Chains A and B, each alone.
Chain A
Amino acid sequence: MIRLQPYVAAALVRHYGLRRSALSSGLFEDMQDPAYAAQIGAWHESLPADHRLSTEQLATLAAPDLLADVRILHGLDSLTHFLVLARCGANGHSCLLAGPQKDGELELKPASGPDAVSDMILLMLAASGDPSEPEMNVRLTHAELAALLAWIDLDHRAAFVARIAHEPRPESFTAEALAEYCQKEAGVPDPRWLLPFFAPLLGASIPATAQQAASALQALARRGLAEPRGAGFAWTLPGQFLSESFQRRFVLAAIDTAAAGPNGALGRHSACLLRSDQPLWFIDIPPDGEAALAGINILDARKILDTLFTPVAAAPELRKPQPPPAPAYAAAPPPGYATAPPAYPPAQPYAAHPSYAAPATPRPAPSSPPPVPGFAPQPAPYTAPRAAPQHPAQPQYPPQAPQAQNVCRNCRQPLPAGAVFCGLCGTRQS
């Protein structure tokens, strides 16, 4: 296990002249000082072999073809968060796990391949017994899924309160209570509850008003999970089963991937696997189209995980910043791309995964969620035999805001005032 500051990773990538793909832009920025990169490179080469990254691992860090953001909640109080970087090459796949730390460092651990990552997660999901496979297969819009998760959370909390107060558990919940819960809790980074855990995957679909919540609840009623009762809604028998098994979860894994499809355009796909004491649930959340919720078995889960962690094509090159600066891979989707949102076939969760056919939604910079006290992974600390060179004060890193009148005459890279050479391409400026 090796720990690197992002600027060290950037310097190593610069030092070894490695290609960068668009997917590494959220991990570290370009290093513009070749002298400093050389200094870092020399330091890296002085480390014992087992304390430094191989060229292949560095290449995977610099140009991943697939980036997966994985969060695994064990029980209700232990969150593991790591990134899976995978690269497809002529000799098969290479894979690297990166754990973002509180201090900004990346804890890097090589994995033998996407298969190994799948099996690691699968072992957690398998637990001590074969899961049952309820014949439940529900398709939901994102808003309905958000309402369902919020309702399960509310139900869970109400059960606690009822137990403590020796009062009967409430049977129905109103749309107003649901909307209030969504407004209060969706933005709180508390993964112990379902809605906050899923919130990064659901985005703006979470009901914000009582009207939106009522609409989502009515849709859940049409799908047979809820029924109107009094002023609110109550679970039907299938809904009750779903709610209780979600409440009894002991492993919940969220996987958010970004990768290139066969046409080279980047797409994004999200999925969750939830293991309760009996069923293993799969929740597929494509960026567009309906989500699907189904009970699956371990073999299906393996196929899903394998698909989610296996890149199918090389990710596009990282675009060099040009004035005016443009965010990486924020270009408009290719023609026809946005009109091809094949919904995940719920009856065949192991079939060809549409993750790479999803519209090329601009992916936010993959960054770890705000740290939650008590929820950050606690890996064994790595002590390097030698301290890394301190980052120099000059040149500025990250680069200063571009000035139209002060850019490299060769590569258009913004230059600090008074620069004689371009820090990126080395062209003399005067």
Chain B
Amino acid sequence: MTLPFRPERRRVLLDEAFRLMPLALEDEAAGAQLAALSREYEAGLHRLEFARCPFTGWVQKHTFDPYGLDGLWWNLRAPARPLRERIPTCQAITGAVFIQPPVENFPFLARPGPGAPFVIPRLLEHPQVQAVLSTLACGRHQAFCIAYFAPDELDGVEWPNDWGANERWAEGGASYGGWTEAPDFEDEWDFDLAPWIQRGKLLWIAPGDRNLTLQNSLQGCPFLNLPGTRSMQYAQDGRVWTAADILAMNPEEDFS
């Protein structure tokens, strides 16, 4: 077993990876070196407790980079993380990050989600689905994890992409596993969490609760009416923007 990396080692890995990223497009040796760095980074990722299954009580652990958005875990097009991470009853994991500026400077595109926790009503409307909301630190930023649980695989439900990735790993029994791409519809996000908590469809875990006690009461819930961007945030090269920013952008401004 590889030990989780310390911040110093992570910094060394990322600095070297960022140096190699532009070279790796043309230089095969640099590409191989970058792949090796990425593997070491992935092996050293922290495995944190994201949620507890409301049906079985099992704890959903997941890799995460708790030191910031500049980790390769957040690389939208090539997220450095293991394939199979969800427990059998966990159907999807989405998330949000309240970004505390300035954002880190990294050369890849990251899509950490909106700035406040949200739910997807079409999923929670399904009688067998429940979601669990928890929070964890990501460097100076505050991350929110929303995990969707169902006791069995559900036919006809289109699950969202994995948090921070543009695809989701889907299992089809013992014989099939693969990446599938699902569209992220921002207009279906619901940031008003109170009704879902009242209906018992959304459970929450208090910040810092190591026992991961599932709570279903509005009283004391710290996740209600949080500030933060209500749109998908994109980040790269020290800048953060949303789709609205792109649409409003002066065409002469270089936003690449």
A binding-site residues for B, Cβ under 8 Å: 115, 119, 122-123, 126-130, 133, 135, 297-299, 302, 347-348
Q: Complex formed: what's the CA distance from A149 to B46 in Å?
A: 32
Nearest residue, chain A, Cβ from B66? A299
- 10 sampled A-B residue pairs with Cβ under 8 A: A122-B3, A123-B3, A126-B1, A126-B3, A130-B1, A130-B47, A133-B59, A297-B47, A302-B3, A348-B208
A-B contact count (CB 8 A): 27
Whether the pair A347, B210 counts as a contact (CB closer than 8 A) is yes
Q: B46 → chain A, closest Cβ, in Å? A: 6
Q: Note all chain A residues with C-beta closer than 8 A to B46.
A: 299
Q: Which residues of chain B from 1 to 43 have any CB-CB distance to chain A below 8 Å in the complex? A: 1, 3-4, 6
Q: Complex formed: what's the CA distance from A321 to B48 in Å?
A: 52
B binding-site residues for A, Cβ under 8 Å: 1, 3-4, 6, 46-48, 59, 208, 210-211
Q: Note all chain B residues with C-beta closer than 8 A to A347.
A: 210-211
Given contact pairs A133-B59, A298-B1, enumerate 18 new A-B contacts (beta carbons under 8 Å). A119-B3, A122-B3, A123-B3, A126-B1, A126-B3, A128-B1, A130-B1, A130-B47, A298-B3, A298-B4, A299-B4, A299-B46, A302-B3, A302-B4, A347-B210, A347-B211, A348-B208, A348-B210
Whether the pair B4, A127 counts as a contact (CB closer than 8 A) is no
Q: Complex formed: what's the CA distance from A299 to B3 in Å?
A: 9
Q: Note all chain A residues with C-beta closer than 8 A to B6.
A: 115
Q: Note all chain A residues with C-beta closer than 8 A to B48.
A: 299
Q: Complex formed: what's the CA distance from A65 to B199 in Å?
A: 56
Q: B63 → chain A, closest Cβ, in Å? A: 11
Nearest residue, chain A, Cβ from B6? A115
Point out which of B3, B4, B48, B208 has the most chain A C-beta atoms below 10 A from its C-beta.
B3
Q: A280 → chain B, closest Cβ, in Å? A: 11
6 interchain residue pairs of minimum CB distance: A126-B1, A122-B3, A129-B1, A347-B210, A128-B1, A119-B3
Q: Complex formed: what's the CA distance from A321 to B210 in Å?
A: 49
Q: B54 → chain A, closest Cβ, in Å? A: 16
Q: Note all chain A residues with C-beta closer than 8 A to B208.
A: 348
Q: Note all chain B residues with C-beta closer than 8 A to A297.
A: 47
Q: Note all chain A residues with C-beta closer than 8 A to B4.
A: 298-299, 302
Point out which of B1, B47, B59 has the most chain A C-beta atoms below 10 A from its C-beta.
B1
Nearest residue, chain B, Cβ from A347? B210
Q: Note all chain A residues with C-beta closer than 8 A to B210.
A: 347-348
Contact of A127 among B1, B47, B59, B211 (CB under 8 A): B1
Q: Complex formed: what's the CA distance from A305 to B208 in Å?
A: 20
Q: Note all chain B residues with C-beta closer than 8 A to A119.
A: 3
Nearest residue, chain B, Cβ from A133? B59
Q: Note all chain B residues with C-beta closer than 8 A to A135.
A: 211
Q: Note all chain B residues with C-beta closer than 8 A to A128.
A: 1
Q: A158 → chain B, closest Cβ, in Å? A: 33
Q: Complex formed: what's the CA distance from A317 to B230 in Å?
A: 59
Q: Note all chain B residues with C-beta closer than 8 A to A298.
A: 1, 3-4
Q: Note all chain A residues with C-beta closer than 8 A to B47.
A: 130, 297, 299
Q: Complex formed: what's the CA distance from A244 to B1 in Å?
A: 23
Q: Note all chain B residues with C-beta closer than 8 A to A127.
A: 1
Q: A189 → chain B, closest Cβ, in Å? A: 32
Q: Note all chain A residues with C-beta closer than 8 A to B3.
A: 119, 122-123, 126, 298, 302
Q: Complex formed: what's the CA distance from A128 to B3 in Å?
A: 10
Q: Complex formed: what's the CA distance from A299 to B66 in Å?
A: 12
Q: A277 → chain B, closest Cβ, in Å? A: 13
Nearest residue, chain B, Cβ from A131? B1
Q: Note all chain B residues with C-beta closer than 8 A to A133.
A: 59
Nearest residue, chain B, Cβ from A294? B210
Q: Complex formed: what's the CA distance from A9 to B177 in Å?
A: 63
Point out which of A127, A128, A130, A297 has the most chain B C-beta atoms below 10 A from its C-beta.
A297
Nearest residue, chain B, Cβ from A349? B210
Q: Complex formed: what's the CA distance from A152 to B129 in Å?
A: 44
Q: Note all chain B residues with C-beta closer than 8 A to A299.
A: 4, 46-48
Q: B9 → chain A, closest Cβ, in Å? A: 10
Q: Complex formed: what's the CA distance from A257 to B47 in Å?
A: 29
Q: Note all chain B residues with C-beta closer than 8 A to A126.
A: 1, 3
Q: Complex formed: what's the CA distance from A302 to B1 in Å?
A: 14
Nearest residue, chain A, Cβ from B48? A299
Nearest residue, chain B, Cβ from A119? B3
Q: B66 → chain A, closest Cβ, in Å? A: 9
Q: Complex formed: what's the CA distance from A122 to B3 in Å?
A: 8
Nearest residue, chain A, Cβ from B47? A130
